[in-house]
Amino acid sequence: MIAAPLSLYRTRVKPEWVDYNNHLNDGYYLVIFSLGGVDEFMNRIGMSDAERRATKTTIYTLEAHINYLREVKLDEEVEIRCQLIGFDQKRFQLYLTMHTARLGDELAATSEFMLVNIDSAGDPKSAPFRPDVATKLAEVMEAHKALPLPQNSGRAIGLPKKK
């Protein structure tokens, strides 16, 4: 049974990740979302480091967004959860959430990634997913299709227009 959403990763906020405000530095949110969310998701769909090397395929990030919702502090444990929003033959869209015990059900941050499958055998180029990866994506999508679309999904950055 595939969890909806998937709990992918837990880590503690390290001293070198903390900024001058004694909070998790904004850049480390992306590090945690990328390594703990995207990479762990890749492992679950058959694209671990060993599988990528053996098949000469990889994933490139096309776009990523972060919403910083609450502060995260030194030594706090964070958990990354993942919802697959959609996929096609070459791309998938992930929505990741960051949680802490201190915040309970309140989110610390969210991130959304658009990623593309790459054939890296020669000059890197986008390519359809291997059949086994496409099957795993479909299995995750089946488990996640009943989840509501997250509030910040698809959000664009911009200043409000003056009236």
Is 77 inside any structural domain?
Answer: yes
Within 10 A of 9 (CB to CB), how many other CB atoms are there? 21
Is pLDDT of 1 > 80? no
**Domain assignment of residue 32, yes or no:** yes
Q: How far apart are CA 126 and CA 46, in angstroms?
A: 17
Tens digits of residue pLDDT in 27-58: 999 999 999 999 999 999 999 999 999 999 99
Closest CA to 94 of 58, 28, 147: 147
**Domain annotation covers residue 156:** no
CB atoms within 10 A of CB 90: 15
Could you tell me the residue range of the domain that residue 34 belongs to? Answer: 9-144
CB-based contacts of 110, cutoff 8 Å, min separation 6: 66, 67, 69, 95, 96, 97, 98, 150, 152
73 DSSP β-pair partners: 23
User: pTM for the complete prediction?
Assistant: 0.92
Average pLDDT for residues 56-83, to the nearest whole number?
95
In this structure, what CATH number is given to the domain that contains residue 114?
3.10.129.10
Asked if the structure places residue 149 within a domain, the reply is no
Helix (H, G, I), strand (E, B) or coil at 4: coil
How many domains are contained in the chain? 1
